[in-house]
Amino acid sequence: MKPTEFFNQAKLELKLPENTPLQSSYQFGAEADKLAELVKKGIKTATTSAYDLYESNEPLPQIGAYDVILNSHDEPVCVTYTDNVQVVPYNQVDAKHAYEEGEGDRSFSYWKKVHDQFFIEEYKSMGKMFNPDTATMVLEKFHVVYPKVKQNG
Q: What is the pLDDT of residue 34?
A: 96
Q: What is the pLDDT of residue 153?
A: 44
Count of domains in the chain? 1
User: What is the pTM for the complete model shown?
Assistant: 0.91
Q: Is residue 74 part of a domain?
A: yes
Q: What is the pLDDT of residue 149?
A: 64
Q: Is residue 150 part of a domain?
A: no
Burial of 130 (0-12, 13-18, 19+ CB in 10 A): buried
Q: Is residue 67 part of a domain?
A: yes
Ranges of the chain with pLDDT below 70? 149-153
Model confidence over 64-83: pLDDT tens digits? 999 999 999 999 999 999 99
**Structural domain harbouring 78:** 3-141
Residue-level length of the chain: 153
Q: Is residue 149 part of a domain?
A: no
Q: What is the pLDDT of residue 151?
A: 55
Q: Is residue 146 part of a domain?
A: no
What does the angle CA 31 – CA 106 – CA 70 come to, to the nearest 5 degrees?
30
Q: Is residue 73 part of a domain?
A: yes
Q: Is residue 119 part of a domain?
A: yes
We report the CATH number of the domain holding residue 80 as 3.10.400.10
Q: Is residue 153 part of a domain?
A: no
Output the 3-class SS for 21-63: CEEEEECCCCCHHHHHHHHHCCCCCEEEEEHHHCCCCCCCCCC
Q: How far apart are CA 46 and CA 142, in angstroms?
A: 6
